[in-house]
Structure 1
Amino acid sequence: MTAWTADRIPDQHGRVAVVTGANSGLGLVTATELARHGARVVLAVRDTGAGREAARRIGGDVEVRELDLARLASVRAFAAKLAADHPVIDLLVNNAGVVLLGPRRTSADGFELQLATNLLGHFALTGLLLGNLAAARNARVVNLSSITHKTARLDFGDLMFERDYRAAAAYGRSKLATTIFGVELDRRLRAAGSPVVSALAHPGLTRTNLTPRAWEHRGRAGRLIARLGLVATQPVEQGALPQLRAATDPGVRGGQFFGPAGLWETRGRVTEARLSREAADPAAGKRLWAAAEELTGVTYLEARP
């Protein structure tokens, strides 16, 4: 089978794509390839200075907008202005993520910072832009998972990890929650008869500033993986291919999950990846959705009886 590469991205002229965390790493590569193939790309970034530098490097039809996913007020302001300026949005790539080391930190809204950024900000953003996405032909939402979701478990009695906090475990939980969100979003879009497709991707072990942090505090095995990562990880250009395929391949179906095909899904050509049992569990999806609605105040795509 021929490996899927960025050269297989179809023409994107006339499409509006929003990429969160687009000023570095996977987001920068994703935004660059979308712009290279003709899309108008919105770089949704917390640091607009870094965003402007990224836009200069990318070239093409790009715009920079401030978005702090850890502040729901910022998410609402960003979404309101973007929705007014772009009535039709074709693609939303929920790429941005944060990995913390050290003691527990909270967002401006009082949520554990990794869950706030990686899940709740994107949950709210997607809901606030869903009308614009539904107005497009062949619109898509892509959520970025992680192989760390496979060993994580959610504690619905302590979603904010207030008890026995461990930064790496909280990161894994946040990525499991993000994965559950992407799968549940697909279920609800289908049930509502929406034309919007929800797909997922993970980059395996890729040389970004996040990968070593995700592993180095996960015990002896995690520290070994972090060290091996210096030589075993793949370039960021390769790591971005699963989310680019999820975002642009015309054959993608709702709920599909892409990642590397190599050992333990750590690197290699793009293929369909495997969800953990909890990520695929409809009961977990329903519970997480209800919690996210309550925490963010954003309600959309009610489940049908």
Structure 2
Amino acid sequence: MSKWTAEAIPDLTGRTFVITGANSGLGLESTRMLAAHGAHVVMTARDRLKGEAAAARVGQDVPGASLELRILDLADLESVREFAEGLRNDAVPVDVLINNAGVMMTPQRDTKQGFEMQFGTNHLGHFALTGLLLDRLAAGNDPRVVTVSSTLHKKGEIDFDDLMHRGRYSPTAAYARSKVANLLFGLELQRRLTAAGSPVRSLMAHPGYSNTNLQFAGPTGWRKAMMRIGNPLFAQKPAIGALAQVRAAVAPDVAGGQYYGSAALFESRGFPELVRPSRLAQDPQVAARLWEESEKLTGVVYGL
């Protein structure tokens, strides 16, 4: 099987991509690749200065890149609504949404609305954002939603009696829960889009073990120390890890409901290929209940 690389990206002129967490890591690499092939990229970041610096770097690497920066904090549903409303008010088209941003293995803390930080940011923030942009996506050119998960989703469990980890808190278990929630959401979204006859496709991706600042921004103590040791030795370049979400976002031969990621060495390295979600991630009953709970928690009702 031939490797899928950035050279396979088609001409994206005239298409608009929204990428959450575009100021660093996988989001920044995805922005660079898409812009290099003619896309207009709406970069989102929580911090304006960091976002502007990232956009400037892409502009240097890709002369003439079509970029705009908008502020979005997925840990605050008010910010999510303001962002979506801003796109609507400014008549910004949305052809592809890449739900890339995330936090990893943070100490126990809450979002502005009182959700556990990792579940609230990685899952609920993106659930709300996708729902608020779905009508704009439906009017788009080859519209897709790409939700980024992790190989750690395989260790994730969904406890509907304690979604926010108010019991004994584990940074790793909370992260794994948020990542299996990403896949449950992405697959259920495709089921509902298909049933509704929507042109939008939902796909998922994971970056393998990629060397990004995600591993240092959240973990503390021994977890952070292990990342500092392991990343230089074992992690692949973020430009390789980002290819999975880019392939899901632009390749002409992908289908809704597919999951792409690095496949070598226990899915830690390599160019993107089709991979399998865990059994839990594919459970339609769990997905349907999580969907209902997510609508209640966020106040965003899809109508699908």
Sort the TM-score into its range (normalised by shorter chain).
Answer: over 0.9
2:62 corresponds to which residue? none
Contact 1:21/1:43 (CA < 8 Å) preserved in 2?
A: yes
The amino acid of 1:242's aligned partner reads A
Tell me, which stretches of 5 or more residues in structure 1 are unaligned? none
C-alpha distance in structure 2 between counterparts of 1:294 and 1:11, whole Å: 40
Task: Please give the secondary structure, in 1, of the residue aligned with 2:68.
Answer: strand
C-alpha distance in structure 1 between counterparts of 2:82 and 2:19, whole Å: 16
1:161 and 2:165 correspond = yes
C-alpha distance in structure 2 between counterparts of 1:152 and 1:214, whole Å: 18
Q: Which moved more, 1:268-277 or 1:22-31?
A: 268-277
C-alpha distance in structure 1 between counterparts of 2:158 and 2:2, whole Å: 37
2:284 to 263, 282, 285: 282
1:204 corresponds to which residue? 208
2:134 corresponds to which residue? 130
The amino acid of 1:158's aligned partner reads D
C-alpha distance in structure 2 between counterparts of 1:66 and 1:292, whole Å: 23
The amino acid of 1:236's aligned partner reads P
1:72 corresponds to which residue? 77
Q: Residue 212 and residue 233 in structure 1: after superposition, are their counterparts in 2 closer, same or farther (change >3 A)?
A: farther
Deviations 1:100-146 (A, max 9, x none): 433x1001101001111101111011000000000012101000000
Contact 2:24/2:213 (CA < 8 Å) preserved in 1?
A: no
Deviation at 1:228, TM superposition (A): 3.9
Aligned length: 299
1:85 and 2:87 correspond = no
1:264 and 2:269 correspond = no
C-alpha distance in structure 1 between counterparts of 2:221 and 2:188, whole Å: 30
CA RMSD of aligned residues (A): 2.0
2:100 to 79, 84, 95: 95
Contact 2:22/2:101 (CA < 8 Å) preserved in 1?
A: yes
1:144 to 148, 157, 170: 148
1:111 and 2:110 correspond = no
Contact 1:192/1:301 (CA < 8 Å) preserved in 2?
A: no
Deviations 1:156-213 (A, max 9, x none): 1100000001111101111111111111111111111000010000001000122478
TM-score, structure 2 normalization: 0.93
1:238 to 213, 237, 240: 240
Q: After TM superposition, list the pairs within 5 Å mapping 1:37-56 onto structure 2.
A: 37-56=37-56
Task: Please give the secondary structure, in 2, of the residue aligned with 1:201.
Answer: strand
Task: Please give the secondary structure, in 1, of the residue aligned with 2:270.
Answer: coil
Q: Residue 119 and residue 168 in structure 1: after superposition, are their counterparts in 2 closer, same or farther (change >3 A)?
A: same
1:175 to 175, 179, 183: 179
2:67 corresponds to which residue? 62
Deviation at 1:229, TM superposition (A): 3.9
TM-score, structure 1 normalization: 0.93
1:10 and 2:10 correspond = yes
2:301 corresponds to which residue? 299
Deviation at 1:223, TM superposition (A): 8.4
Contact 2:15/2:141 (CA < 8 Å) preserved in 1?
A: no
Deviation at 1:268, TM superposition (A): 0.9
Q: Residue 211 and residue 225 in structure 1: after superposition, are their counterparts in 2 closer, same or farther (change >3 A)?
A: closer
C-alpha distance in structure 2 between counterparts of 1:153 and 1:223, whole Å: 26
Q: Which moved more, 1:223-232 or 1:86-95?
A: 223-232
C-alpha distance in structure 1 between counterparts of 2:227 and 2:45, whole Å: 30
C-alpha distance in structure 1 between counterparts of 2:221 and 2:169, whole Å: 12
C-alpha distance in structure 1 between counterparts of 2:244 and 2:217, whole Å: 21
Q: Residue 198 and residue 177 in structure 1: after superposition, are their counterparts in 2 closer, same or farther (change >3 A)?
A: same
Task: Please give the secondary structure, in 2, of the residue aligned with 1:269.
Answer: strand
The amino acid of 1:48's aligned partner reads R
Identity, % of aligned positions = 50
Contact 2:106/2:220 (CA < 8 Å) preserved in 1?
A: no
Deviation at 1:275, TM superposition (A): 0.3
Task: Please give the secondary structure, in 2, of the residue aligned with 1:181.
Answer: helix
Q: Residue 270 and residue 218 in structure 1: after superposition, are their counterparts in 2 closer, same or farther (change >3 A)?
A: farther
